[in-house]
Chain A
Amino acid sequence: MPPVQPGDGARRSVRYLAFLLVAMRTLTAAGIEGRVVEDHTGNPLASVEVRIAKAGQRTLAAQLETDSSGQFRAQGLTEGEYQIDATKSNFIGVTLRVAGLPGPLTLRLVRCGVITGQVMDAQGQPMLGVMVYAMPKPVSGPLMPYAAPVPGTYMRVNERGEYRLHSLPPGEYAVAAAYGASTAMFGSSGGADVRPAIGSGVQIYPTLQRPRFFTVAGGEAYRNVDFAIVPTALHNVSGKVVLPDPKTRYWLALTTAEQPGLATAVTGTSADGSFRFEGIADGSYTLTASGPITGYGGKGMLGAPVHFGRMPISVAADISDLTVPVQKGSSVAFLLRAPAGAQGAGGCPSAAQVALTALEDFATRIDRTGAINAVKEQPVADLAPTKYQVGATGLGEGCYLASSTVLDLASGGHDAVVPVLVAPAGSIRGRLTGGADPRAFSIVLVAADAEAATNPLQVVNPDSSGKFGFGGLRPGRYRIAAQSAGAAGARWVTDAAHMLEIQIVAGAPTEMELPAPGKPQ
């Protein structure tokens, strides 16, 4: 089952929101009170920020925190409709909309997951400089790290070789360790210490062929996810990049087809274009070159005019005579497209930004953005010979990318205009079946697409006939389940096996029937 992925850096405190639509009732008391608990244990949560906003008001009616027993109480409120937000770092938050409550509320916050372990060498000594990544389980294709990783979802091991991945929202994750002249090492220091017999590489836990996926449904803590980097037959790969004038430094990366998102090894050229990779294991690789390099900060920074090279190589012995030609980056035109009638007020904008995310690690900054509109195609230049995931930003609220497009420039340029398809939000119209009292259940919807992190978890209560609905959904994959609404131990989010996967399309409702569980889970 696909995971929910963390969002961008602006959401690094994991302030994900869930929406709980509570049946409209009359506000009779001059206050709102409740209790916030941890979803998977039911334990009270202290220091949860609770924000209470009255409909139609620009400022909050109250802003407070839960006490040590998880309780909160806002007094002096006048009648009306309110929205209540409850958030806490390292938890998925919740939002309620209420219009009067007969009694205290109970809100459930889902704790993020943790994976810890060590990276050691064959002698049991800690491997320094290794970067460890949580990699979400893909629907198809190879494992990829996050394009915009959130702190906690990757980290460099400490001096004891230990790592601790945290802030992992519900989902499934593989764990990868990049060692030697990795992009993280080379990109942060401009060099790397490649140990003899260890070399450079990327290891997936426990093996690349059969990665283990760690399921996070709330509060899981996986320990002893340990790596052992063992010696293997290693080779040197050297050659020369045919540098254009003026001759400056270029960076090169080796990637594999199985693991294109994390380079096996990175190196730089001398002023004459010569380069040398050390400690490369047998295998087939893609060798990439990019430059000129003007600096580094996580990855190499590229100056103008940008040139790239790309060639396949097979390593079974030392290679010393490679010649790597480079050519200018390519340019591709993009056009913003929306269904008829979708553009305009409340729908999709007529101008936005295209965001191109490389699906291969060149160890340099090759992701690109560019302004696009619905009238005339707009070029984006300096593209590398690789595959790019086409995304869009600046679409405003209620408009989303309607399809997942991969632009393949690995074997050359792309003359045709690439449409960037956007569409209004999707929705769900559903009915709970098989339950004696539908109101005894909550319908939980978990988004599975990375970009959906704005609202990854939504909860509604069906009416007496079992009908329920979700609106404003970003198109993509979701997991949905009916959970018991009243039981104290009833979790909102369970493991993937107990939830149904569905696909939400843009601009149209998805009709569905959801069977009620036999007993609360």
Chain B
Amino acid sequence: MTAFAATRPSTPNRMSPIDRPAPPLLEARGLRFARNDEPVFGPLDFSVDAGEALLVQGGNGSGKTTLLRVLAGLLSADGGEVDIDGQRARASHRARAIAYLGHLPGFKADLSALENLDFLCGLQGRRRAQLPANALAMVGLGGYEDALARQLSAGQRKRLSLARLWLSPAPLWLLDEPYANLDLDGIELVNRMVQAHLREGGAALVTTHGAYAAPPVRTRMLALEKATTA
């Protein structure tokens, strides 16, 4: 499979340490991944600066989810390097810098919405200024604090994931199909959250297969193409 990467304009000339701009929040060089010797994506070169969003586009099976899982460290790449904030990404480093919103939300069905958030905040940390109850109200789940996760609809569970994301202290958001299962208000909510996050100096990678309206922020595009076996 081949992939086409839109890289940022390179700055080859070395500058003095003082002039040198801050390293990108996330940088991938020659990143590739293969499953059973069959390439899934790559080699990819891209970078995301603080205050930027990277929209990863591609059809079903083009490797969007795999790319995000590799970046999150859940899968190990077959080649290439990932730098976070100018340093080679290690597990401990990733854990502090990355919040990952995947297809499996990681909620226990027998715990209430608030208890689930409490646990994940206890496990992964949270921003001091944010409280789980407020985050629930923000994503439109006010009044559902004591509802068990199993009683929530798919869209409500997605909103619960968004609340968890909102509480996360990580500057780099990896969002795998964040718009799935959400109504129009929910899509707007995701965009507002991404916007607010970027304004705070964070960055976001967003995968999408469709033509959802991208948030009005500085956005790079990364198009993954499903290769035709030549």
Query: Are A and B co-members of a single complex?
Result: no
Q: Enumerate chain A interface residues (CB-CB to B < 8 A).
A: none
Q: Enumerate chain B interface residues (CB-CB to A < 8 A).
A: none
